[in-house]
Amino acid sequence: MKLERVEIVHVAIPLVTPFRTSFGTMTTKDTFLLHVVTDAGEGWSEFAADPEPLYCSEFVAGAEIVLRDFLLPRVAGLPGLTAAAVAPAVAKVKGHELAKAALETAVLDAELRSYGMPLAVYLGAVRERVPAGVSVGIKESLPALLDDVERYLAEGYVRIKLKIEPGWDVEPVRAVRERFGDGLPLQVDANTAYTLADADHLRRLDEFGLLLIEEPLEENNLYGHARLQGRLSTPVCLDESLHNARDTASAIAMDACRVVNVKPARVGGYLEARRVHDVAHAHGVPVWCGGMLETGIGRAPNLALAALPGFTLPGDTSASSRYFAADITEPFVLEDGHLPVPRTPGIGVEPLPEALRRFTLRREDLYVG
**Residues identified as active-site:** 163, 263
Our finding on whether 189 is near ligand OSB (CB under 6 A) is yes
Our finding on whether 291 is near ligand OSB (CB under 6 A) is yes
Q: How far is the CB of 279 from ligand OSB (least distance, A)?
A: 20
Coil vs helix vs strand at 92: coil
Rounded to an integer, what distance in angstroms lies between the CA atom of residue 50 and that of residue 293?
10
Question: Using CB atoms within 10 A of its CB, is residue 175 exposed (0-12), middle (13-18) or buried (19+)?
Answer: middle
Our finding on whether 189 is near Mg ion (CB under 5 A) is yes
Return the residue of 109, 239, 247, 272 that touches ligand OSB, per CB under 6 A.
239
Q: How far is the CB of 143 from ligand OSB (least distance, A)?
A: 22
Q: Using CB atoms, what's the residue nearest to ligand OSB?
A: 291
Rounded to an integer, what distance in angstroms lies between the CA atom of residue 78 and that of residue 74?
8
Q: Which of residues 129-148 bind ligand OSB (CB under 6 A)?
A: 135
Our finding on whether 316 is near Mg ion (CB under 5 A) is no
- Closest CB to ligand OSB among 55 and 311? 55
Between strands 186-189 and 159-163, the pairing is parallel
Rounded to an integer, what distance in angstroms lies between the CA atom of residue 157 and that of residue 199?
30
Our finding on whether 72 is near ligand OSB (CB under 6 A) is no
Q: How far is the CB of 296 from ligand OSB (least distance, A)?
A: 12
- One-letter amino acid identity for 101? A
Which residue stretch of 230-238, 281-289, 291-299, 347-355 sits at the interface with ligand OSB (rule: CB under 6 A)?
A: 291-299
**Which parts of the chain fold into alpha helices (H)?**
60-66, 72-76, 83-90, 97-115, 119-123, 142-155, 170-180, 199-203, 222-229, 245-254, 270-282, 296-305, 320-323, 353-359
- One-letter amino acid identity for 234? T
Residue 291 contacts which entry, Mg ion, ligand OSB, none (Cβ below 5-8 A, type-dependent):
ligand OSB
CA distances from 16 to 21, 121, 145 (A): 16, 33, 16
CA neighbor of 315 nearest in space, from 40, 38, 129: 129
Our finding on whether 318 is near ligand OSB (CB under 6 A) is yes
Site size with Mg ion, rule: CB under 5 A:
3
CA distances from 128 to 261, 276, 302, 341 (A): 21, 21, 13, 5
Residue 118 contacts which entry, ligand OSB, Mg ion, none (Cβ below 5-8 A, type-dependent):
none
- Closest CB to ligand OSB among 189 and 272? 189
Residue 221 contacts which entry, ligand OSB, Mg ion, none (Cβ below 5-8 A, type-dependent):
none
Q: How far is the CB of 287 from Mg ion (least distance, A)?
A: 14
Q: How far is the CB of 133 from ligand OSB (least distance, A)?
A: 8
Return the residue of 239, 272, 327, 350 that touches Mg ion, per CB under 5 A.
239
CA distances from 175 to 134, 296, 299 (A): 17, 33, 31
DSSP letter at 44?
E
Which residue stretch of 91-99, 121-129, 167-175, 285-293 sits at the interface with ligand OSB (rule: CB under 6 A)?
A: 285-293
Q: How far is the CB of 302 from ligand OSB (least distance, A)?
A: 9
Contacts with Mg ion, residue ranges (CB under 5 A): 189, 214, 239
Contacts with ligand OSB, residue ranges (CB under 6 A): 55, 135, 189, 191, 239, 290-293, 316, 318
